[in-house]
Structure 1
Amino acid sequence: MKVEALYTYPIKALRAQSLDTAQLTKHGFAYERRFMLLEPKNDAETNTTTYRNMHVAHDPAGTLFFPIFHYPSTPDAKDGTIEVTFKPPKNTSTSEQSLTIPLEPDTSDLEEIEITMHKSPTKAYRMPAKYTDWFTSCFGYPVILAYLGTNYRPVLMSTSPSNPPSTTTTWLSSLTTTATSLLPSSLNQSIPQNKTNEITFSDCAPYLVVSRTSISPLSDRLSDGTSADITKFRPNIVVSGAAEPWEEDYWASLSIGASNSDKGLTLSCAHNCARCKSLNIDYETGAPGTGPGGRLLAVMQRDRRVDPGMKWSPVFGRYCFLGNGSEEGGTVRVGDEVVVEGRNEERTRFDWKGLATT
């Protein structure tokens, strides 16, 4: 199998940026999802403000925003930026416009706010008015831009006991199984158990891996020759060349790029990813789809509700962590070889403490 595509998400719930190479860290691709959008809700009676997390499923206009990283000129420089371009639907009179955001803002004078995603709390910083006002004008309702800074969120998902992988290698057997206070001891043995289980504004895990082979049976069920769009599944890594659709349900561990280095990189596959109505959004109009693509979730409901931990939701793809045998800063490339190093005898069960959305 091969790495077919790599995607990163500079700002949560906006479009992805396609990459040829990506640097891996224990928290995901470098700089990924350290910004997110929130809708402020003011309570006049208590004179307090709460913040609604914005997601593609409920804020589909986010698919009209195209962010691109401009990385720092040197490792120590602070001159990196994110350029965001808003491209309204073609049938509107709104003009295309862009905004430049510092990749690592100075937070010394920024208001600190509390954010909770899927019951996983963290602190973040409210970006200045010039940024929030721009997003507000594009969305048409109040929106603020939040920056995570050096904060992280605890990973709250877990797995129930399962059979050990049917095949293992030296690196896999070396993974630790020491439970943390956040994760129960019943976790699948292939998941690294230590304080590295923290994430940015990603929903549940630092990485999401999907298989190209599993798209074909979904496309076959859509009418008018429509193909299912794999980018709607919001993957980080797209793998091509799997022998059978849905075999990834049982992946426990992956080795990537071993042929290009002495060690390669390893990913521990923790869970199958449950899906929501974000799959039905038309990315060209920034609204719920009206054609065959707008029924993708229903198509998957037929036979992809295979995880008893999320029995009402179909699954597609695997949530992953950087394996304990991998060093941070390693690079994955399009075209890298992918090898399944471990397989579970049964599907993992999503045992959740917070709702997963994309």
Structure 2
Amino acid sequence: MKVTGIWVYPIKGLCGIPLHNARLGPEGVQYDRRFMLFKVKENGDLQKLQLDRFPACSRFVPELVGDDIHVRYMPPEVPLVPWCPEQSVVLRVPLDPNLSGLDKQVINLHQALVNAYRMGDSFDKWFTACFGFETIFFYIGDERRPVLGTNSPRSQPMVAAAPPTQGWLPYLYSYIWGGYNYVWGGRDQRQAEPDWLAFADMAAYLVVTEKSLRNVNARFSNTDNAVDIVKFRPNVVVDGEVDFDEDFWAELSIGGRPVLALTKLCDRCTSLNVDYDTGRFGEGEKGTLLKKLMADRRVDRGAKWEPVFGKYAFLVDGLDGADVSVGDEVAVTRRTAERPAADWAYTDKTIARFYRYS
């Protein structure tokens, strides 16, 4: 198998940016979901801006240009909001903003709390004008969100698949002892810091396959309604060999070495039904993608009402980073015997907490 796509989403909820190569870090693809938008509700509460509730997010197109993100608002043929001058302005967002003077505010995203930085009035006003409601723009900076439930790879039971290229002996060490580092003469007792997140929902990466996408697209009676992989908002796309085999993948080696530990299934929502051309939910068969998956993809025992497409992942234990390119060879080096079950109680406010540095 091969890597056929790499995507980064610098601003959570907005369109992604395709990459030919990327640096993978513990929090995701470099610059992934470092920024996030919230709607200010009438009572002052914040509501995250994502496609499932705000399909207009699909009309904001970011681009990486030097040290900035350039964001363009693309009004659809049938406008979503009245025209305003800001719609013709390209917003420039620094990838690494100066944090001095920025106010901080506690953000609760799926009960994983973080003290995020408010980017300021000029950014808020641009997004507010383009969305048509009061919006606040946040940057995560040097802060971290915790991983809740058993989404972290260290708690996943695994069974061995084919050995990776480094041979059986170190592979068995890694399998038996759960990914600790080793030194001659005994075990190195040092452990990696706990996994952490930027503004990604529940994991640092999302892996999907083109093979499974073809299975989904075969369900449309009109081939003009077939969907692109962008609907599933992946970070790493693999060509794949068997429909939905990724449900059971536990580790992927890329370019000859273990890189990604896959943990939980990705349970899907109504964002799949958004028509990116109109910034609205799709009409007719274009708005039925979620329903088409409901027929046979409700396979997550922990989220029985939501269909599954793709799998969440983190870097393997002990790996600080990896450079990955489209075209790199991919091998499944560990598998799970059964599909994992979701256990992140993201509606339970009693589990909300901050990241604790190790």
Corresponding residue for residue 280 of structure 1: 273
Cα drift, residue 90 of structure 1? 2.5
TM-score by length of 2: 0.85
RMSD value, Cα:
2.2
| Unmatched runs of 5 consecutive residues or more in structure 2 | 164-169, 181-190, 348-358
Q: Tell whether the 8 Å contact from 2:78 to 2:278 is kept in structure 1 after alignment.
A: no
Q: Tell whether the 8 Å contact from 2:203 to 2:312 is kept in structure 1 after alignment.
A: yes
What is the percentage of aligned positions where both structures have the same residue? Answer: 39
In the alignment, the residues of structure 2 paired with residue 172 and residue 208 of structure 1 have an alpha-carbon distance, to the nearest angstrom, of 26
Structure 1 residues 164-204: Cα deviation after superposition (integer angstroms, max 9, x where no partner): 3242643475266499xxxxxxxxxxxxx853410000001
Say whether residues 1:333 and 2:320 are aligned partners: no
Q: Tell whether the 8 Å contact from 1:253 to 1:341 is kept in structure 2 after alignment.
A: yes
The correspondence for 1:60, drawn from 45, 55, 77, is 55
SS in 1 for 2:39: strand
In the alignment, the residues of structure 2 paired with residue 2 and residue 16 of structure 1 have an alpha-carbon distance, to the nearest angstrom, of 21
In the alignment, the residues of structure 1 paired with residue 172 and residue 29 of structure 2 have an alpha-carbon distance, to the nearest angstrom, of 22
AA paired with 1:167? A
Corresponding residue for residue 7 of structure 2: 7
Corresponding residue for residue 253 of structure 2: 255
| Unmatched runs of 5 consecutive residues or more in structure 1 | 44-48, 72-79, 180-192, 259-263
Corresponding residue for residue 164 of structure 1: 158
Structure 1 residues 296-346: Cα deviation after superposition (integer angstroms, max 9, x where no partner): 000000000001011110001010000125342x21000000000011111
In the alignment, the residues of structure 2 paired with residue 125 and residue 222 of structure 1 have an alpha-carbon distance, to the nearest angstrom, of 43
Corresponding residue for residue 228 of structure 1: 227
In the alignment, the residues of structure 1 paired with residue 62 and residue 149 of structure 2 have an alpha-carbon distance, to the nearest angstrom, of 29
Structure 1 residues 136-170: Cα deviation after superposition (integer angstroms, max 9, x where no partner): 00000111111111001001131698753242643
Equivalent runs, 1:195-344 vs 2, <5 Å: 195-225=193-223, 226-240=225-239, 242-258=240-256, 264-328=257-321, 330-344=322-336
SS in 1 for 2:287: helix
Quickly say closer, same or farther: Cα 1:106–1:347, change in 2 above 3 A: same
The correspondence for 1:104, drawn from 90, 96, 102, is 96
Quickly say closer, same or farther: Cα 1:220–1:130, change in 2 above 3 A: same
In the alignment, the residues of structure 2 paired with residue 265 and residue 293 of structure 1 have an alpha-carbon distance, to the nearest angstrom, of 38
In the alignment, the residues of structure 2 paired with residue 12 and residue 348 of structure 1 have an alpha-carbon distance, to the nearest angstrom, of 26
TM-score by length of 1: 0.85
Corresponding residue for residue 74 of structure 1: none
Which range is displaced more, 82-91 or 280-289?
Answer: 82-91
SS in 2 for 1:305: coil
Q: Tell whether the 8 Å contact from 2:263 to 2:313 is kept in structure 1 after alignment.
A: yes
SS in 2 for 1:134: helix
